[in-house]
Amino acid sequence: MADKTTEVRLNFMAALENVQTMDELEKIRVEYIGKKGYVTELLKEMKNLSNEEKKTFGQAVNVLKNEVNDKIAEKREELKQKEIELENSRMPEFDISTPANLERGSYHPITLVQRQCEEIFRSMGFAVEDYSEIVTDYECFEALNIPKDHPARDMQDTYYLDNGQLLKSHTSAAQNAIYKKYKDALVNEGKPIKAIFPGRCFRNEATDACHENTFFQMEGVMVDKDISISNLIFFMKTMLSEVFQKDIKVRLRPGFFPFVEPGFELDISCLICGGEGCPSCKHSGWLELCPCGMIHPEVLKAGGIDPDEYTGFAFGLGLTRLAMMKYGVKDIRDLNSGSLKTLSQFTDDK
């Protein structure tokens, strides 16, 4: 019987010698130590042996099995190493001491302007929050005092998922969650709610030089006792003067949004044409930039805040439009073009 284990061992070693690939190795593994492999078959022959023979033969087969296992593992490592070496030999050689001469990408103008706004508001004590792009109908509309058949929904048609959720049409969709997150600290510790939440928004609408179907907004809210329109105007003015570092002509006019009362449209004089009128501002000389207003009592209530005790303001800054004005981008569609050449001309910031 000892001859048989020796024969299987020699055959195995010869076969292993010729193995070149992982597939071949696997084939040999199955052939020798698989369920019906040569080594496994040897064990089946034990039934014809005496008890004494069974003991020595069993031990010999086990030693062989371990040996086969070890040799296969060793070969696997060897093949892996060869694969890595082959892969490395295919890589182009380069001299790491050569000065880098590669063209570097630049930060997207929207990223730059978003970071700048975050910095400004952080320095004024606002928390920066992140919120999902897929939201519920309740978050995007109902919690904002826009029931199912309210005409205000027509202004914000968006993309709906089969499960009833939707891609958020405005950053206001996060308001309800923010109120709920901070309301306890407001009521129990007297900490005002001060948060901004930038994010990507989606609308199913025709595109032109100042409208995209995918764009960025940055929402901001502040809730406390005795918050008034003066607070709102102060924060808006500070933000704009910090972003542009110069005096910007702005106008505030009444605007309707079901989630604020009163509501305003804050426009800035178009910096592309200097207020003369151009496609970027729909030839009006003004660009709608940051609608805002005092948070509607129903919206505070939906967020778990007592509107008889607390008031607040909210704004929805058009970040994409702000980037257009700051970096002189005439057509909003360039910002989504994905063209490094186009985008890098707007900014040198790397």
- Which phi and psi (to 5°) does residue 128 adopt? -105, 120
Q: Does 330 bind ligand FA5 (CB under 6 A)?
A: no
- One residue of 37, 199, 303, 318 binding ligand FA5 per CB under 6 A: 318
- One residue of 57, 202, 315, 346 binding ligand FA5 per CB under 6 A: 315
Task: Give yes or no for a cis peptide into 262 (omega within 30° of 0).
Answer: yes
d(CA 316, CA 292): 6
- Counting Cα atoms < 13 Å in the Cβ hemisphere of 2 gives 3
Closest CB to ligand FA5 among 175 and 344?
A: 175
Q: Does 257 bind ligand FA5 (CB under 6 A)?
A: yes
d(CA 139, CA 137): 6
In the region spanning residues 202 to 241, those forming contacts with ligand FA5, defined by CB under 6 A, are 203, 205, 211-212, 215, 217, 219
In the region spanning residues 48 to 107, those forming contacts with ligand FA5, defined by CB under 6 A, are none
Q: Does 296 bind ligand FA5 (CB under 6 A)?
A: no
Give the count of residues interacting with ligand FA5 (CB under 6 A).
Answer: 24
Instruction: Tell me the residue type at 198.
Output: P
Residue nearest to ligand FA5 (CB): 318
Closest CB to ligand FA5 among 76 and 211?
A: 211
Q: Cα dihedral sign for 211, 212, 218, 220?
A: positive
Binding mask 176-205 for ligand FA5 (x = CB under 6 A): ---------------------------x-x
Question: Which range, of 15-23, 231-239, 268-276, 308-316, touches ligand FA5 by CB under 6 A?
Answer: 308-316
What is the distance in angstroms between the CA of the first residue and the CA of the last residue of the chain? 75
Q: How far is the CB of 79 from ligand FA5 (least distance, A)?
A: 56
At 289 the three-state DSSP class reads coil
d(CA 269, CA 259): 26
Q: Does 158 bind ligand FA5 (CB under 6 A)?
A: no
Residues facing residue 207 across a β-bridge: none
Q: Cα dihedral sign for 14, 16, 17, 21?
A: positive
Binding mask 11-30 for ligand FA5 (x = CB under 6 A): --------------------
- In this structure, the number of other CB atoms found within 10 A of the CB of residue 229 comes to 15
Which stretches of the chain bind ligand FA5, using CB under 6 A?
170, 172, 203, 205, 211-212, 215, 217, 219, 257, 260, 263, 288-289, 291-293, 314-316, 318, 320-321, 332
